[in-house]
Structure 1
Amino acid sequence: MKVINVDVAIIGTGTAGMGAYRAAKKHTDKVALIEGGTYGTTCARVGCMPSKLLIAAADASYHANQTDQFGIQVDRISVNGKAVMKRIQTERDRFVGFVVESVESFDEQDKIRGFAKFLDEHTLQVDEHSQVIAKRIVIATGSRPNYPEFLAAAGSRLLTNDNLFELNDLPKSVAVFGPGVIGLELGQALSRLGVKVKVFGRSGSVANLQDEEMKRYAERTFNEEFYFDAKADVISTLEKNEAVEVIYFDKSGQKTTESFQYILAATGRRANVDKLGLENTSIKLDEKNNPLFDELTLQTSVDHIFVAGDANNSLTLLHEAADDGKVAGTNAGAYPVIAQGQRRAPLSVVFTEPQVASVGLSLRQIADLYADQSTTNYVVGQVSFEGQGRSRVMGKNKGLLKVYADQSSGKFLGAEMFGPAAEHIGHLLAWARQQQMTIQTMLTMPFYHPVIEEGLRTALRDAQHKLLVDKQTMNEFIMTHDNAIKLVI
C-alpha cells in the first residue's frame, strides 16, 4: 500500500476539480488530483456541448421547414439521423479532447487514478493501491442523472443524457420525463428532427420558470410542436418487445397505453457524494445527504474540507463550477487563511426555442425579501414579443419578458424571460444586476434600432412608469395623512 502525504487532495477532475487544482498549485506544490473515471467534464462529454450540437441540427431542420412565411418554398427536407449523430459525436469528442489535454498537461506526479473514499477527515483510500493523507481536501466529484424508481422498469430502453449521445441513429420515438432544462431542450430538438416525442411532467414545472403567466404561455407554445403535459398522471412504464410501454392518463382524462422506442429520463441529477465514505467524517449533511457548506467559502462543517461544483448540488452550471473550483482551491491552498469568493449575478439559460433566461433574484427570493412587509414593495415591468418589431421581422415573435425592481430605490432585482434571443438579453440583465443598476440607469444605456433588445427597453419603461406612479401615489398618501394629522391637532 502506497502512502502519499500532501497539503491538498482534490477528488475529481471535472470543471470544478481542474479549477481547484490550478488555484491550489499557486499556494503549494504538494497537491494530489484523484480521478476514478474518465477525464472530461460533464459539460463537454454529456452535457452542454453535445446537447447544443443536437439543438443546432434540430434548428437547421426546423427553420428550413418554416420558410413559407417569407415567401420561400423549399421542396423537400430530409433528416439523416446517422449523420446527425455522427457529427454530434465527432464534435463532442473534439471538445472532450481539449479537456483531456488540459488534465494531461498537469504534473504527472500529482495525478492519482482510482476511486477515493474517506477513512477519516484527513485520509483517503484510493482503490486498493494508495492512501492519501491530506491536510486539506476538496470534494469535486460531480453529479449523475437521477430518476424515480418507476422509470427503471424501462430497462435497456431507458436513456439519460449520459448515454443518449452514444446512439448511432436518431430514435423513432421517445417519451421524455422531466420538463426542466434537459428534458425540454432535448425533447424539442428530437421532435424537430422528426422523432415522435411526448414530454411528461408531474409538478407543473416548465423549464424552471416561476412566473405563472409565463409558465402557461411556455406550455402552450411547446404544445404547438409536441405533446407536453406538465402535470401528467403516469401509471407505469415497462420494457416490452424491444420497446417501452407507457400507461398514462392523457389531458382529457382518458387512460392511454402507448409504446415508445425509448424513455429519456431528465428528472434531475444527484451529487456523487454517496460513495465517498462521508460517514467516516463529522461532515454535517442536509436532508438529501449532501454536505452542508458555506456558499462564499465552500467550507463544509469540517473547516479543512471543501465541496465544489456539481458535488455541492447547488447551481449545476459550468461557469458556477469553474468559480467554485477557484474559490475552493484557493482556500484549500491558502488554509488557514480563508477568503470569501466573489459570486457573480445569477444567470441561467435554457436553449429551447423560444429560449428561457432567469437573472438575479427569483420571484421566490423576491417574495422572501419583502415577506415581513405589509405591502408589495417591488414592481414588474413587462413586454410581449408578439408585436415587437425585429421579432416580427424574423418570424420569432413569441414570448414574454418580466423585469423586477425595488419600489423605493428603483434598483433592478431580477428578471424572467421566455422569448427570442433570451441568451443575449439575459447577459445584459446579468451585467446590470451585478453592477447594482437602477431601472433609470439601465434606460440611459444605448438601444439600437431595429433589434430584439428594444423589447427589453419596453419592459424597463413599463417598470419605470410603475415606479413613478407608485411614488406619486405614496406622496399623495403622505400629504393626505399629514393634513389629517393637522386637522386632528
Structure 2
Amino acid sequence: MKRYDVVILGGGAGGLTVASGAASLGAKVALIEKSDRLGGDCLHFGCVPSKALIEAANEINYSSVLSQYGFDVSGRATFSHVKERVKAAISTIQHHDSEDRFEKMGVDVFFGVGEFVDEHHYLLKDGQSLYGKRFVIATGSRPIVPPIKGIDNVQFETNETIFDLEDVPSKMIFIGGGPIGLELAQAFSRMGTETVVVDRSDDILSKEDGEIQQLATEFLQKDIDFILGVDVKEVKQEGATKTVIYEEQGVTKEISGDALFLGVGRAPNTDGFGLEEIGVKLDKRGHIQVNDKLQSSHSHIYGIGDTNGQFPFTHAAGMEGKLVVQNAVLGLGRKVSYKTFPWTTYTTPEIFHVGMTEEEAKDTGKEYHVYKSGLDDVDRFVAEHKTTGMVKIISDKKGYIIGAHAIGEGAGDWMQTVIFAMEQKKKVGDLSQMVYPYPNHAAAIQRAADQYWREKLFNGIVPKLTKKYIQWFR
C-alpha cells in the first residue's frame, strides 16, 4: 500500500493546482485521473476549445468587413480547418499539463477509476491501494441530458462532442440558453449556421445586471433566433433532421434542423466512487456539501470546483485549489470568500460580472450609487468602430465598490482593474485617479469613475465654497 499526505481525485484545473502546490511544499502527493490525460474538461471540451472556436468564428465574421475596403470575399467556412485551430490550441496547453511535468514535481500520477474503501483508503480498479491523510475531490462535472421524450433516439451534441462535427451545420437548435449555449450558438452563427436557442426561461443571462442583460440580448439577437418561455415536450429524428416539439402558451409547435445541442446545465461527477458510502454528505443535485474552509462532512476530505456547486468556472477551481493547499497541507484554516469573484461570458461582445447587480443592491434596502459610461464615449472604441457596450460600477454610500459590470469588446480583460480595486478595498474615486494611457479601452472605467468626483466636487456646497475662495484669495 502506498501512503500519501494528499490524494487528489481529478486532473483538471483544481486538481492540478492542488497537486503542484502541495508537491512544491514537500507533501507526498498522488493524483488520480479517470481518463488517459490530464487537463480536465476545460482544456479538452470546455474553455480552451470553445474560445478557439469563438476566435475562429469571429475572424470568419470579420472577413465580411473586407468588402468595405474593396475586397470580394465569398465561400463557406470549412469546419475541418476550424478544428485544426482548436486542436492546435489544446495541444499547446496540454504540454503544460503533461504527466511528465507533474511527475518531475514529485507527484505520483495514476490513470484509471477506483473507489473509497473507507474514509482514508482508495482502491484503484487495477488493484493498487492508496492511503491518504487527506483527500481532495476535484472530479469536475458532465453535461446533463434532460429526460425529454425521445432523447434516447436522437443524435445530439454537447460540449464534449460538438468539436467532432464533420462540417458546419446548416441549422442548429440549442436546447438551453446558458452561457455555454449562447457562446457556441453565436460562434456557429458567425460561421454560417442558422442558430436557434430554445429555453424555458423568459429571458437569457438572468444572473447579469438588468441593463447589461438587456443590451446583451439586443446584440445577440442579431446572430441568434430565440424561442423563450417554452417547455420542450419531445425530440425526434428522421434521417439527418432533428425536430424539437415544444409548447408555447398552450399551443404545440415544432422546429427542425440538422443538428441539436443540449446545454441545460451540468451535473457534478461525485457518483460511482463511494463518497456517500463513507459518509460524505451530498446535496440533492449531488454536490459535496462543504464549509467555508472547503471541507466536507469529513474534515480531511475537501471538495473543490464543480463538485461543490459554488461557481462552475475553471478559475473558481483554481482559486479554491490554492486555498485547499494552505488548509490541507499547512493547516492554516483559511476561509473562502466569493465577494469579489468575477466571471465573463465570452460572447461577442464579452459580458463581465463581479459583485452585486443593481437589482441585488436595491434588494438590500441600503443606499447605493451607480456610475455608468457608454463605450461610445471612449475614443479607443470609437476609433475601432466597436462602440456597442457600457460600463456600470455600483458603490455603497461611502464609495466602496460592491459591484461592477460591463459589456464590450474584450471586457473580460480591461475590467480586471476593478477586481483589484475591490480586493484592495478601494473606492470608485480611486479608479478615476489612475492614469490611463491614451487611447485605452480601460478608459471606459475612468469615464464611469469620473462621475464620482463630479458628484462630490461639482454638486452641492463645494462649488459655492470654491467660488468664494477664488473671489477672495485668487
Task: Please classify the TM superposition score into its range, dividing by the shorter chain length.
Answer: 0.7 to 0.9
The 2-side partners of 1:449 and 1:6 are apart by 54
1:13-52 equivalent positions in 2, closer than 5 A: 13-39=11-37, 40-52=39-51
Residue 444 of structure 1 corresponds to which residue in structure 2?
A: 433
Residue 434 of structure 1 corresponds to which residue in structure 2?
A: 423
Residue 114 of structure 2 corresponds to which residue in structure 1?
A: 116
CA RMSD of aligned residues (A): 3.0
Q: Is the 8 A contact 1:20 1:330 kept in 2?
A: no
1:184 to 2:182 alignment:
yes
Q: Is the 8 A contact 2:276 2:282 kept in 1?
A: no
**Pairwise CA distance, 1:190:** 0.3
Q: Using a 3 Å threshold, how does the CA distance of structure 1 residues 138 and 74 change in structure 2: closer, same or farther?
A: same
Amino acid at match of 2:324: A
Residue 257 of structure 2 corresponds to which residue in structure 1?
A: 260
The 1-side partners of 2:246 and 2:336 are apart by 47
Residue 425 of structure 1 corresponds to which residue in structure 2?
A: 414
Q: Is the 8 A contact 1:150 1:237 kept in 2?
A: yes
**Pairwise CA distance, 1:85:** 1.9
1:216-227 equivalent positions in 2, closer than 5 A: 216-227=214-225
Residue 57 of structure 1 corresponds to which residue in structure 2?
A: 56
Residue 330 of structure 2 corresponds to which residue in structure 1?
A: 334
- SS of 1:310's equivalent in the other structure is helix
- SS of 1:138's equivalent in the other structure is strand
Q: Is the 8 A contact 1:358 1:426 kept in 2?
A: no
The 1-side partners of 2:57 and 2:388 are apart by 19
- SS of 2:380's equivalent in the other structure is helix
Q: Is the 8 A contact 1:347 1:357 kept in 2?
A: yes
Amino acid at match of 1:167: L
**Pairwise CA distance, 1:194:** 0.5
Q: Is the 8 A contact 2:150 2:234 kept in 1?
A: no
1:95 to 2:93 alignment:
yes
> Which consecutive residues of structure 2, in runs of 5 or more, have no partner in the other structure?
462-474
Normalised to the residue count of structure 1, the TM-score between the two structures is: 0.85
The 2-side partners of 1:358 and 1:160 are apart by 25
**Pairwise CA distance, 1:383:** 2.4
1:391 to 2:387 alignment:
no
**Pairwise CA distance, 1:59:** 0.7
Amino acid at match of 1:163: T
- Structure 1 residues 36-69: Cα deviation after superposition (integer angstroms, max 9, x where no partner): 222222221111111111111111111111345x
Residue 442 of structure 2 corresponds to which residue in structure 1?
A: 453
1:165-180 equivalent positions in 2, closer than 5 A: 165-180=163-178
Corresponding residue to 2:131 among 116, 123, 133: 133
The 2-side partners of 1:32 and 1:272 are apart by 19
The 1-side partners of 2:253 and 2:372 are apart by 40
**Pairwise CA distance, 1:314:** 1.8
Q: Is the 8 A contact 1:25 1:333 kept in 2?
A: no
The 1-side partners of 2:186 and 2:54 are apart by 8
- SS of 1:93's equivalent in the other structure is helix
The 1-side partners of 2:192 and 2:251 are apart by 26
Residue 276 of structure 1 corresponds to which residue in structure 2?
A: 273
- SS of 1:303's equivalent in the other structure is coil
1:355-366 equivalent positions in 2, closer than 5 A: 355-363=350-358, 366=361
Q: Using a 3 Å threshold, how does the CA distance of structure 1 residues 63 and 255 change in structure 2: closer, same or farther?
A: farther
Q: Is the 8 A contact 1:151 1:265 kept in 2?
A: no
Q: Is the 8 A contact 2:27 2:329 kept in 1?
A: no
Q: Is the 8 A contact 2:23 2:107 kept in 1?
A: no
Q: Using a 3 Å threshold, how does the CA distance of structure 1 residues 237 and 465 change in structure 2: closer, same or farther?
A: farther
**Pairwise CA distance, 1:212:** 2.3
More deviation in 140-149 or 313-322?
A: 313-322
Q: Using a 3 Å threshold, how does the CA distance of structure 1 residues 388 and 333 change in structure 2: closer, same or farther?
A: closer
- Structure 1 residues 274-303: Cα deviation after superposition (integer angstroms, max 9, x where no partner): 2232222233333323121123x2212211
Residue 304 of structure 1 corresponds to which residue in structure 2?
A: 300
More deviation in 231-240 or 259-268?
A: 231-240
Q: Is the 8 A contact 2:64 2:73 kept in 1?
A: no
Q: Is the 8 A contact 1:210 1:363 kept in 2?
A: no
**Pairwise CA distance, 1:161:** 0.7
**Pairwise CA distance, 1:209:** 4.1
Q: Is the 8 A contact 2:24 2:105 kept in 1?
A: no
1:377 to 2:389 alignment:
no
1:352 to 2:344 alignment:
no
Normalised to the residue count of structure 2, the TM-score between the two structures is: 0.87
**Pairwise CA distance, 1:15:** 1.5
The 1-side partners of 2:262 and 2:43 are apart by 20
Q: Using a 3 Å threshold, how does the CA distance of structure 1 residues 233 and 212 change in structure 2: closer, same or farther?
A: farther
More deviation in 182-191 or 449-458?
A: 449-458
Q: Is the 8 A contact 1:124 1:131 kept in 2?
A: yes
- Structure 1 residues 343-367: Cα deviation after superposition (integer angstroms, max 9, x where no partner): 7931211121111000234456545
Residue 464 of structure 2 corresponds to which residue in structure 1?
A: none
The 2-side partners of 1:10 and 1:152 are apart by 38
Which has the bigger relative contact order, CA under 8 A and spacing at least 6?
1
1:293 to 2:329 alignment:
no
The 1-side partners of 2:153 and 2:423 are apart by 46
- SS of 2:381's equivalent in the other structure is helix
Q: Using a 3 Å threshold, how does the CA distance of structure 1 residues 231 and 469 change in structure 2: closer, same or farther?
A: farther
Q: Is the 8 A contact 1:348 1:358 kept in 2?
A: yes
